[in-house]
Chains A and B, each alone.
Chain A
Amino acid sequence: MKRSGPLHLPRTRSMVRSTLRSSSAAACFAILAGGLVVGVLTGLVNGVPSARAADAKNGKAVFEKCAACHSLEPNKNDDAPTLAGIFGRKIAAEDFRYSNAMKRSDVTWDEHTLDAFLGDPQGFIPGNRMPFDGLKEKADRDDLLEYLKEATKN
């Protein structure tokens, strides 16, 4: 069975996280509702080319969030699968102990799928094991992908 898909609504984790600071049931509800709206918008925006020119230099800075685990060197899969050659690669194709969620998904990594995954990792592939809750800003994702296009060429 194929699970996942870019239109999948984000699961509750990120919404609940945003209620971390709320102190009343009413505020919880408001933020919860806000989370839903943002989730839907993110889903719709996924894959739509942005009018803004992507900035690979900022993308390199954004990549710092990934670099604690992900390498850009081929075959370096220590804490996470390498990103070398990620564009055009089938999901779960590296020599790495992937979660079943990743292994069961049928995704080829490209600009659109990476954007959807990075925007909401648990929403796109529920149950994956990447300990990262995503890049919420579309501009950050655009910049990161712009950077990765060059940086991940084998």
Chain B
Amino acid sequence: MATELKEVDVVLVGFGLTGAILARELGGRGLKIVALERGIRRETNPDFAVPRIRDELRYAQRTDLMMDTSRDTITFRHRLTEPALPMRRLGAFLPGEGVGGAAVHWNGFAWRWLPNKDQRARTFYEERFGKSFIPADMPLQDWGVTYDELEPYYDKFEYAFAVSGKAGNIKGQKQEGGNFFEPARQRELPLPPLKDGLATELFAQAARTMGYHPFLTPAANASQAYTSPDGVKFGACQYCGHCERFGCEANAKGSPHIAVVPVALRDPDVELRTQSWVTKVNLDSAGKRATSVTYTDVTTGAEYEQPAGLVVLCAYGLGNIHLMLLSNIGKPYDPVSGKGVVGKNYAYQVGGGVTLFFEDKAFNPFMGAGALSSRIDDFHANENFDNAKAGFIGGGTIGSSSSGGRPISYRPVPPGTPRWGSEWKRATAKWYQRSMGIAGTSSNMPNRYCYCDLDPTYKNAFGQPLMRLTYNFTENDFKTRDFMAQKAYEIGKSLNPTHITTPDPRREDFSLVPYQTTHNTGGTIMGLDRATSVVNKYLQSWDVSNVFVVGASCFPHNSAYNPTGPVAALAYRLADTIKDTYLKKPQSLV
């Protein structure tokens, strides 16, 4: 029997990026807030101190900071006709676990998504290319929130999380050195760009010569010491090459455990309970209001019921979908009838590119910053890009990144090199220093048959059904990927490398095994119509008005960019929605 606890005003399920931002923003106004986090709390010292954090085997290969698949995981299948099997090891994506969530081990790419191609995706493509341009099995939709509404919150995020970079557009004025195609910002970024590396510099030169518009991506890696508006001190990035999959030893990466958690926890009414696994949001008998959440203390197995006036799901995207399904909030999506909403529009991302090898260059790949990347946005943010001619919906960015060449994972060798033995050893020793990559990251449009539901067979450690993911690449994905990879090849070729790989145009099934990207989106999507979305434009459940959901699970599609920018912006905006609107009149906001 669960022990019933004293009612609080707000329960935050998950204390990663969004939960910590909400606690920071909602705290200090007399609200009793409880944050329930399934993992542990880690601090720069001792958890991320050198030399322990430089353990590539522990953190990168064995994913020490990520979710524990022995307790809960997903099952996976490519198509409705396949049986789904549990993902027993992490591979394609790496959800975080613990305070700060995946934003502890992220690289730091801090993009803003596009006013038209993202926030108004369906309207944009229909207006530009005709009503029939979007295929019937692609449930693309507008978000319901505009870029202009999100802009102040992007700005808040960038200043709180120490984003380095150069604006490309301030209040409509194009700025030299930034992303030529980016949407307008109200002001410059808080920190100047990171130091260029040879790979990023060469890419930029080649791209510029070909008429494209290269820029260094905005990065939540502090290029110099910085104090945030909250008074949080950041150190300067040391280019250690151990960013993604690691915590930052120098307090230089914009991560919640330094940027917002300490500020949030200054308020004694904000209480953090770690190792507390939420299994369900409980509803009243009519199913119209959430009354409490049930959670298990994973250190003792004891179960608790925490009553609350307001429940915000702030878990990793996949966790948000799972909890909505387990709690019967919203109608589960059925791909056959197309009816229902929870689990709908799951999307991922597609990448492809080339590796360049130069006899006469030394790249020092061991140095790098997480989001040190030179990219072009001529094929996505550029609204003059002709999608009809290219034959796909969406777009991609292309670039070269210097985020670090770690000894286990970074072993580039030219095509034709044996995969083991003395010849491989000679090649890996030779080419480690002499190679660079150019790759495209492409958007991923929703597909009718890419979705999440509850698995009929497998259960987690709490006896609950695992979530089942049905996903595969579509022809639109391959076309987008191949287009970007071909451009990457052309840019690479223009640098006259000694060897260059060629793009791989295979039409292969998606694989859960090799790491691709931790950009899982959709499943609890936002929108203007309750028939096609889980939450309204304020991220409030259409069905249960005191449940809000925030995270990449609210994105109706996946863009070519990393999702952290809009995830954080939505969280900051949600805090204002709750403070300024919902708490004054706690009811449905639309």
Q: State whether A67 and B233 are in contact (beta carbons under 8 Å apart), knowing that A19-B364, A25-B362 are contacts in the complex.
A: yes
Q: State whether A20 and B43 are in contact (beta carbons under 8 Å apart), knowing that A64-B233, A65-B235, A133-B238 are contacts in the complex.
A: no
Of B49, B195, B224, B226, the residue contacting A20 (CB under 8 A) is B195
- Establish whether residues B235 and A68, one from each chain, have CB atoms under 8 Å apart when the complex forms: yes
Of A25, A68, A131, the residue contacting B360 (CB under 8 A) is A25
Of A28, A64, A79, A97, the residue contacting B225 (CB under 8 A) is A64
Whole-angstrom CA separation of A19 from B364 in the bound complex = 8
Q: Which of A80-100 contact B (CB under 8 A)?
A: 80, 97
In chain A, what residue has the closest Cβ to B162?
A: A68
In chain A, what residue has the closest Cβ to B196?
A: A21
* Binding stretch for chain A, among B93-101, B245-253, B441-449, B559-567: B245-253
Whole-angstrom CA separation of A24 from B195 in the bound complex = 19
Whole-angstrom CA separation of A78 from B49 in the bound complex = 11
* Most B-side CB within 10 Å, residue of A23, A66, A131: A131
Of A16, A22, A97, A131, the residue contacting B250 (CB under 8 A) is A131
- Establish whether residues A129 and B362, one from each chain, have CB atoms under 8 Å apart when the complex forms: no
Q: State whether A68 and B361 are in contact (beta carbons under 8 Å apart), knowing that A97-B45, A97-B49 are contacts in the complex.
A: no
Residues of B within 8 A of A (CB): 43-46, 49-51, 195-198, 201-202, 224-227, 233-236, 238-240, 249-252, 360-362, 364, 367
Whole-angstrom CA separation of A143 from B294 in the bound complex = 56
Whole-angstrom CA separation of A129 from B48 in the bound complex = 11
B residues within 8 A CB of A65? 224-225, 235-236
- Establish whether residues A17 and B198, one from each chain, have CB atoms under 8 Å apart when the complex forms: no
B258 to chain A, nearest CB (A): 8
Q: List 24 A-B contacts (CB under 8 A).
A: A20-B195, A20-B197, A21-B197, A21-B198, A23-B198, A23-B361, A25-B362, A64-B227, A64-B233, A65-B224, A65-B225, A65-B235, A65-B236, A67-B233, A68-B225, A68-B233, A68-B235, A69-B45, A69-B235, A80-B45, A97-B45, A131-B235, A131-B238, A131-B240
Using an 8 Å CB-CB cutoff, how does the interface string of A22-36 with B read, 1 for contact, 0 for none? 111100100000000
A68 to chain B, nearest CB (A): 4
Whole-angstrom CA separation of A57 from B398 in the bound complex = 44
Whole-angstrom CA separation of A18 from B364 in the bound complex = 10
Whole-angstrom CA separation of A50 from B51 in the bound complex = 36
Whole-angstrom CA separation of A51 from B239 in the bound complex = 34
Whole-angstrom CA separation of A39 from B81 in the bound complex = 67
A residues within 8 A CB of B252? 68
Residues of A within 8 A of B (CB): 16-17, 19-25, 28, 64-69, 78-80, 97, 129, 131-133
Whole-angstrom CA separation of A18 from B103 in the bound complex = 30
- Establish whether residues B362 and A28, one from each chain, have CB atoms under 8 Å apart when the complex forms: yes
- Establish whether residues A16 and B225, one from each chain, have CB atoms under 8 Å apart when the complex forms: no
B96 to chain A, nearest CB (A): 21
In chain B, what residue has the closest Cβ to A27?
A: B362
Of B198, B249, B360, B364, the residue contacting A16 (CB under 8 A) is B364
- Establish whether residues A132 and B362, one from each chain, have CB atoms under 8 Å apart when the complex forms: no
Of A23, A78, A131, the residue contacting B43 (CB under 8 A) is A78
- Establish whether residues B360 and A20, one from each chain, have CB atoms under 8 Å apart when the complex forms: no
Further contacts, 7 of them, CB under 8 A, given A21-B196, A97-B49: A23-B201, A64-B227, A69-B251, A78-B43, A79-B45, A129-B51, A132-B238
Whole-angstrom CA separation of A20 from B436 in the bound complex = 13
A residues within 8 A CB of B196? 21
A residues within 8 A CB of B236? 65, 132
Of B49, B226, B250, the residue contacting A132 (CB under 8 A) is B250
B residues within 8 A CB of A19? 362, 364
In chain A, what residue has the closest Cβ to B248?
A: A131
Q: State whether A22 and B238 are in contact (beta carbons under 8 Å apart), knowing that A64-B225, A129-B51 are contacts in the complex.
A: no
B residues within 8 A CB of A22? 198, 362
A residues within 8 A CB of B202? 23
B160 to chain A, nearest CB (A): 15
In chain A, what residue has the closest Cβ to B249?
A: A131
A residues within 8 A CB of B361? 23-24
In chain A, what residue has the closest Cβ to B234?
A: A68
- Establish whether residues A79 and B227, one from each chain, have CB atoms under 8 Å apart when the complex forms: no
In chain B, what residue has the closest Cβ to A16?
A: B364
A residues within 8 A CB of B49? 97, 129
Query: Which 7 A/B pairs are nearest by Cβ-Cβ distance?
Result: A68-B235, A68-B251, A131-B250, A64-B225, A68-B233, A65-B225, A79-B45
A121 to chain B, nearest CB (A): 11
- Establish whether residues B233 and A129, one from each chain, have CB atoms under 8 Å apart when the complex forms: no
- Establish whether residues A132 and B198, one from each chain, have CB atoms under 8 Å apart when the complex forms: no
A46 to chain B, nearest CB (A): 22
* Most B-side CB within 10 Å, residue of A68, A97, A129, A133: A68
A residues within 8 A CB of B226? 64
Whole-angstrom CA separation of A19 from B226 in the bound complex = 26
B264 to chain A, nearest CB (A): 17
In chain B, what residue has the closest Cβ to A133?
A: B238
A96 to chain B, nearest CB (A): 8
A17 to chain B, nearest CB (A): 6
B residues within 8 A CB of A80? 45
Q: State whether A20 and B367 are in contact (beta carbons under 8 Å apart), knowing that A79-B45, A131-B240, A131-B250 are contacts in the complex.
A: yes
A residues within 8 A CB of B251? 68-69, 79
B residues within 8 A CB of A28? 362
Whole-angstrom CA separation of A24 from B45 in the bound complex = 39
Whole-angstrom CA separation of A154 from B204 in the bound complex = 51
Of A17, A23, A78, A132, the residue contacting B235 (CB under 8 A) is A132
In chain B, what residue has the closest Cβ to A13?
A: B367
In chain A, what residue has the closest Cβ to B195?
A: A20
A residues within 8 A CB of B240? 131
Q: State whether A97 and B227 are in contact (beta carbons under 8 Å apart), knowing that A67-B233, A79-B251, A131-B238 are contacts in the complex.
A: no
B residues within 8 A CB of A79? 43-45, 251
Whole-angstrom CA separation of A19 from B438 in the bound complex = 21
A131 to chain B, nearest CB (A): 4
Whole-angstrom CA separation of A33 from B158 in the bound complex = 40
In chain B, what residue has the closest Cβ to A130?
A: B50
Of B51, B225, B233, B239, the residue contacting A17 (CB under 8 A) is B239
In chain B, what residue has the closest Cβ to A17?
A: B367
B115 to chain A, nearest CB (A): 35
B222 to chain A, nearest CB (A): 8
A36 to chain B, nearest CB (A): 17
A residues within 8 A CB of B360? 24-25
In chain B, what residue has the closest Cβ to A128?
A: B50
